[in-house]
């Protein structure tokens, strides 16, 4: 008998990770309307945008306008992705209370994504964390390419574990393990979590799966079995990484919710309302939803 968590927190990353790779610039008012819909679903964390270089991610250059335009709910956190102190300063000016920093155990991915070595990226993060702490911000840290890198192939779990421990010791509240290119499988996922939890408590971990090879839900189940209770996902399965060619979307929030509901795991998130938010953004982007659950329930309601 495996013990699954009774309650899971969903971190909706659609407005940041879901949109950052969209080629056509999405109008700011569409982003705002979508985040407002998401805020009404019961989600407690919505990653809203990023304060990275607009030269590299032009899609999210309107982070300030989005943060000022949304109707913030008291029980919802709206973190933003931050690459350096300059980004943090912009975020603080926009009144941000929660941030996410990011690194990776892959040297080559680090160079492509942030133009620096892994060691330099950890130094940058340390500077960001030290300023963020002075402002009592909530801090999550991402580690990308934890189950494989588009440039280096296999990434040793021990390398990820060393970085996860450093970030936790530095004062990051949560470490999100990212399978950026979706190559992981369930036993590799469990191996990684076992190695990382030798040093970092499982309560500090989140998992972040992309569904490139259709493994995301299986990997999430594998992580739940080891006690991970925070799951990243994006409405409609939006997303991809500009520095990971071929990476498809994040696992769809609807699909994660359906699986958790089916196992009696509480999230406090309303699937119907997430589907409405999903339909809204899919129509605005002229995309077919990547969520199997959305597609099934929509065709079911058409039949019924």
Which listed option, Mg ion, ligand HMG, none, makes contact with residue 201 (CB within 5 to 8 Å by class)?
Answer: none
145, 149, 172, 241: the catalytic one is: 241
Give the residue nearest to Mg ion (CB): 17
Give whichever of 98 and 211 is closer to Mg ion, judged by the CB atom.
Answer: 211
CA atoms within 13 Å, Cβ hemisphere of 293:
22
Binding partner selected for residue 86 from Mg ion, ligand HMG, none, CB under the kind-specific 5 to 8 Å limit: ligand HMG
Instruction: Provide the binding-site residues for Mg ion, judged by CB under 5 A.
Output: 17
Paired strand residues for 149? 153
- The tally of CA atoms less than 13 A away on the side-chain side of residue 176 is 27
- Contacts of 285-289 spanning 24+ positions with Cβ under 8 A: 285/22, 285/24, 285/26, 285/238, 287/236, 287/238, 289/236, 289/237, 289/252, 289/254
Q: CB 164 → Mg ion: shortest distance, Å?
A: 17
116 noted as active-site residue: no
- Name the burial class of residue 283, with classes exposed (0-12), middle (13-18) and buried (19+) by CB atoms within 10 angstroms of its CB: exposed
Are 117 and 110 in contact, with CB atoms under 8 Å apart? yes
CB of 142 to ligand HMG, least distance (A): 4
| Coil, helix or strand at residue 73 | coil
CA distance 143 to 174: 11
Q: Which of 51/78 has CB closer to ligand HMG?
A: 51
Q: Shortest distance, CB of residue 9 to ligand HMG, whole angstroms?
A: 17
Choice between 212 and 275, CB closer to ligand HMG: 212
Binding site for ligand HMG (CB under 6 A): 17, 20, 50-57, 83-84, 86-87, 90, 102, 113-115, 142, 144, 178, 180, 208, 241
The least distance separating Mg ion from the CB of residue 264, rounded to whole angstroms, comes to 27
Sign of torsion, CA 187 289 230 91?
positive
Which residues belong to the active site? Answer: 241
């Amino acid at each position: 008998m495996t013990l699954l968590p009774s309650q899971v927190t969903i971190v909706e990353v659609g407005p940041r990770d879901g949109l950052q790779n969209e080629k056509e610039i999405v109008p700011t008012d569409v982003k705002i309307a979508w985040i407002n819909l998401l805020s009404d679903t019961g989600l407690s964390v919505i990653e809203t945008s990023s304060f990275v270089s607009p030269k590299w991610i032009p899609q999210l250059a309107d982070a300030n306008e989005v943060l000022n335009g949304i109707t913030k709910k008291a029980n919802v956190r709206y973190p933003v992705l931050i690459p350096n102190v300059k980004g943090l300063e912009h975020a603080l000016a926009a009144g941000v209370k929660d941030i996410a920093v990011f690194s990776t155990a892959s040297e080559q991915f680090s160079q492509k994504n942030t133009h620096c070595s892994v060691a330099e990226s950890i130094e940058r993060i340390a500077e960001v964390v030290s300023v963020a702490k002075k402002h009592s911000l909530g801090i999550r840290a991402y580690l990308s390419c934890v189950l494989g890198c588009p440039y280096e192939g296999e990434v040793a779990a021990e390398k990820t574990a060393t970085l996860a421990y450093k970030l936790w010791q530095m004062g990051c509240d949560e470490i999100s393990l990212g399978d950026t290119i979706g190559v992981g499988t369930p036993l590799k996922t469990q191996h990684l979590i076992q190695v990382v939890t030798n040093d970092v408590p499982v309560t500090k971990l989140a998992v972040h799966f992309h569904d490139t090879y259709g493994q995301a839900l299986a990997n999430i189940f594998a992580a739940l079995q080891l006690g991970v209770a925070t799951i990243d996902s994006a409405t409609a399965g939006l997303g991809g990484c500009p520095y990971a060619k071929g990476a498809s979307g994040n696992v769809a929030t609807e699909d994660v919710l359906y699986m958790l509901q089916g196992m009696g795991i509480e999230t406090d998130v309303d699937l119907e309302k997430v589907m409405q938010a999903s339909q809204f953004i899919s129509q605005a982007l002229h995309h077919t939803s990547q969520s199997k659950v959305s597609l099934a329930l929509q065709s079911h309601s058409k039949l019924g």
